Chains A and B, each alone.
Chain A
Amino acid sequence: MTPLLDVRDLRLHYETPRGPVRAVDGVSFEIGSPGEVVGIVGESGSGKTSMANALMRILPRNVARYDGEVLYDGEDLMALTDERFRKEVRWRTMAMVFQGAMSSLNPVLNVGRQVTERVLVESGASKREAYRKAEELLELVGLPRDIIKRYPHELSGGMKQRVVLAMALMMDPRILILDEPTSALDVSVQAQVMNLLKQLKRERGMAMLFITHDIALASDLCDRVVVAYGGEHVESGTLAEVLTAPKHPYTQKLIASIPRLHDPAQPEFIPGRPPDLVDPPSGCRFHPRCDFAFEPCDSDVPPWFEAGGAQHARCWLLGQSKGRG
């Protein structure tokens, strides 16, 4: 069966005076079917947001390299012209909720106008129909109907993020990309938004790509988790596998750094700094910060090793126990 979304060896490098920044450096993952939520977890600077932008073809002017395959139902979206990509992929195949709810809305247009405008640029769209749908969606995300006439500055952060979410659902996208959708919100509002996302997944069978630095938050929603580090992916598997038996030392550190209530143990932090993506470390990009680094780590790039079940990790430790994969 063809997966819903199959990303293969996606790369997005930015040109800088120091040389190309390898923000997304050959990442592959898939979303198997509608209703599946894949979490991309990693620290700041691991290229998560760049990857989301690469999927939506939101590119800055200084792109140095942008290639790979993004297969949607078997069709390579990377091969589409910009015009077709805009019309057919954006908001139709994939919609995205950006980081920073506060600044995602145009300050001078009212909510209704912003939620409906994508539908209304289509030829033959009915304004009444669009507004009716907008009201339904705004209600779905738990906002009062009269919000349609309000302006962003009249809304709280949580309300804005819900408006953005309703806006993303206007074209019935197959896949929803969520880039840190709750990082600008306080904890109780964050919980409301997370519940809303779970409801979307359950009731609408929405496939999602959930990007976050917060692995605990990812565990609340995701079926599968991919761990990103330094522009690459280092581990993937089902939520249970990655959370309970992390194979990559980076994933282990990430999980150990979650603060816990009622636990006297201090949360750990990961020593060292995230890798420089202009000049990343040789071999495994995590080796300068890794407690277990040994002979091949600083010279050879680790391949994906199977770790039982659906779990895979790019770490030489797995190769040691099972022989080179």
Chain B
Amino acid sequence: MSFVRPLAVRAVTLIGVLLAVLVLLVVSLGATGFSDRMLRAVVGEEVRGLRTALAETIRDPVELERAVEAQRGELERFYGLDRSWYTRLPDTVLRVITLDLGEARTLKSSSGSRRVSDIILERLPNTALLITTALVITAAIGLVVGSTMAARAGTKLDRALSYFAATSFAIPAWWLGILMILLFAFQLRLLPAGGMYSTPPPEAGLLRFLDLLWHAVLPVFSLVLVTVGPYLYSVRTMTLSVAQEDHVMVARAKGLPEGVVVRRHILRVAAPPIVTGLILGLTSSLGGSILIETVFNWRGMGRLYFDAVAGTPDEAVIVALTFVFTLLYVAARWLLEVLYVLLDPRVRYT
């Protein structure tokens, strides 16, 4: 099939992107000394604990120091601090690529597991719930409002919504989140300020799910509000430019009903860029989720990222999460390529 080759070429390119991101991760963690500092802090902490334990059995201070130093050397070897970052970190990355995400140092899953894959898998559905809900709402509003704006380009409605789009684009997600909490949680007391469940959480089942949705309203609303503006504006621009093309006039002259003209000859032709906007919006809300989840104390991957970077840094989790985020990005991009090939016959042969 003519589809296979272009999609394979793009898959290879995207794997290249994945590798490039991991290389950048290694360099930015290693060359800045962040990795070394982080590991040294870990070793220092463990050595402190060891010293008190050893002090119980070894009375002679010189002997104790020697034992402690021996232990420290062992720990440094264990964490790879005796090697430089550019030999140590690539090993970590290669391990991560084989989906062996390793163990977290301080973070744990709710069931107490230290395995990074357990921790991430526990968080993944929470982030997915947030992002996909926001995405579906954004897509629906964007398509309907965007094409309405295009149909009424130049009217007051169009101009007002264009201002809204610019504002929506300019507002930082976290700031909007805080504003939402102040307004809806503290002033109006309509919605919870954060977290995923009430305390105490309702029994499992429908009530628990409804409680989850109840807590999801504000974060989803904030995400939608910052993504929908640019999206509906791009839908407007795309449909407007396609609507002025000659083939649309031909479609009308043919005597097709207006609905068919709009769907088949305007929206269908504008679909590739519209879908691109949506998928790229999805990937950018992956990044946005870090801030939104932090602001709303939503236990998803974004919040996990924040926890792994802030406070006591957890290198294994940072590397693993970066890998997973990049993997999601690359998967979304590839999905976009597939859609593009399906939607636009012109890209099938390149």
Footprint of B on A, CB under 8 Å?
Answer: 56, 58, 86-87, 89-92, 95-96, 98, 100, 103-110, 117-118, 121, 151, 153, 164, 167, 171
Binary per-residue interface labels of chain B (236-256) against chain A in the complex, 1 for a CB within 8 Å, 0 otherwise: 000000000111011111111
Contacts from B to A (Cβ < 8 Å): 245-247, 249-257, 260, 264-265, 268-269, 271, 343-346
Q: Cβ of A121 and Cβ of B256 under 8 Å apart?
A: yes
20 further contact pairs, Cβ within 8 A, besides A103-B245, A171-B255: A58-B252, A86-B257, A90-B255, A91-B255, A95-B253, A98-B250, A103-B247, A104-B246, A106-B247, A106-B264, A107-B269, A107-B345, A108-B268, A108-B344, A109-B268, A110-B345, A121-B256, A121-B260, A151-B345, A151-B346
Contact A117 B269 (CB under 8 A): no
B345 in contact with A58 (CB, 8 Å):
no
Chain B residue numbers with a CB within 8 Å of A106 are: 247, 251, 264-265, 268-269
B224 to chain A, nearest CB (A): 29
**Whole-angstrom CA separation of A86 from B259 in the bound complex:** 13
Which chain A positions have C-beta within 8 A of B343? 108
B254 touches A109 (CB 8 A): no
When A and B form their complex, which 9 residue pairs have the shortest distance between CB atoms, in order from nearest?
A: A90-B255, A103-B246, A151-B345, A118-B254, A91-B255, A106-B247, A86-B255, A153-B346, A104-B250
Expressed in whole angstroms, the minimum distance between the Cβ of B203 and any Cβ of chain A is: 51
Known contacts A117-B254, A117-B256; A105/B346 CB under 8 A: no
Are B255's CB and A118's CB within 8 A? yes
B259 closest partner in A (C-beta): A121
List the B side residues contacting A86 at CB < 8 Å: 255, 257
Complex Cα gap A98–B246 (Å): 8
B73 to chain A minimum Cβ distance, whole angstroms, is 66
10 contacts between A and B (CB under 8 A): A58-B253, A90-B255, A91-B253, A92-B255, A95-B254, A100-B246, A118-B255, A151-B345, A164-B250, A167-B254
Q: Is the CB of B255 within 8 A of A98?
A: no
Report the minimal beta-carbon distance from B43 to chain A, rounded to whole angstroms: 60
Distance between Cα atoms of A107 and B257 in the complex (Å) = 20
Contacts of B257 in A (CB 8 A): 86, 121
| Chain A residues, CB < 8 A from B254 | 90-91, 95, 117-118, 167
Which of A96, A100, A108 is the one whose CB lies under 8 Å from B345?
A108
Are the C-beta atoms of A90 and B247 separated by less than 8 Å?
A: no
Contact residues in A for B271 (Cβ distance below 8 Å): 108
> Which residue of chain A is the closest to B346 with respect to CB atoms?
A153
Q: A86-B255, A117-B254, A151-B345 are in contact. Are A58 and B268 (CB under 8 A)?
A: no
Q: How far is the CA of A105 from the CA of B254 in the complex (A)?
A: 12
CB atoms of B253 and A107 under 8 A apart: no
The residues of B that contact A107 with a CB separation of less than 8 Å are 247, 269, 344-346
Contacts of B260 in A (CB 8 A): 117, 121
User: Are the CB atoms of B246 and A87 closer together than 8 Å?
Assistant: no
Q: Which residues of B contact A103 (CB under 8 A)?
A: 245-247
For B269, the closest partner residue in chain A by CB is A108
* Chain B residues near A92 (CB-CB < 8 A): 255
Give complex CA distance A109, B344 in Å. Answer: 9
The CA-CA distance from A121 to B250 in the complex, in Å, is 15
Specify the chain B residue showing the minimal Cβ separation from A85.
Answer: B255
Indicate which residue in B247, B255, B256, B268 contacts A105 across the interface (CB closer than 8 Å): B247
Contacting residues, chain B, for A151 (C-beta < 8 A):
345-346
- Minimum C-beta distance from B304 to chain A (A): 41
Max count, chain A CB within 10 A of own CB: residue among B245, B253, B257, B268: B253
- Please measure, in the bound complex, the distance between the C-alpha atom of A111 and the C-alpha atom of B251, giving whole angstroms: 13
Return the chain B residue nearest A167 by Cβ.
B254
For B265, what are the chain A residues with a Cβ–Cβ distance below 8 Å? 106
Q: Which residue of A lies closest to B257 (CB)?
A: A121
A107 to B344, CA, bound (A): 8
In the complex formed, the residue of B with least CB distance to A154 is B345
Residues of B within 8 A of A90 (CB): 252-255
CA distance A100 to B252 in the complex (A): 16
Which of A89, A108, A164: most chain B Cβ within 10 A? Answer: A108
Chain B residues with CB below 8 A from A100, complex form:
246
Which residues from A are CB-within-8-Å of B246? Answer: 98, 100, 103-104
A261 to chain B, nearest CB (A): 34
A114 to chain B, nearest CB (A): 9
Chain B's closest residue to A99 (CB) is: B246
> Smallest Cβ distance from B238 to chain A, in angstroms?
13
- Docked CA distance A103–B345 (Å): 16
Bound CA–CA A86/B264 (angstroms): 17
Contact of A118 among B249, B256, B269, B345 (CB under 8 A): B256
* A134 CB to nearest B CB, Å: 13
Closest to A118 in B: B254
Chain A residue numbers with a CB within 8 Å of B247 are: 103-107
By a CB distance below 8 angstroms, the chain B residues around A164 are 250
Once the chains are docked, how many angstroms separate the CA of A191 from the CA of B245? 27
- Taking the closest CB of chain A, its distance from the CB of B259, in whole angstroms, is 10
Closest to A170 in B: B254
Are B253 and A96 neighbours in the complex by a CB distance under 8 Å? yes
- Cβ contacts under 8 Å, B344 to chain A: 107-108
Most buried by B among A89, A106, A107, A153: A106
Cα A46 to Cα B245 in complex, Å, equals 22
B244, closest chain A residue (CB): A60
Cα(A2)–Cα(B268), bound, Å: 44
What B residues does A89 contact at CB under 8 A?
Answer: 255
Docked complex Cα distance between A151 and B268 (Å): 15
Contact of B255 among A87, A104, A109, A153 (CB under 8 A): A87
Find chain B residues with CB under 8 A from A56 CB.
253
Chain A, residue nearest B248 (CB): A106
Docked CA distance A90–B254 (Å): 6
In the assembled complex, which residues on chain B have CB atoms less than 8 Å from the CB atom of A118? 254-256
Nearest A residue to B345 by beta-carbon distance? Answer: A151
Minimum C-beta distance from B327 to chain A (A): 31
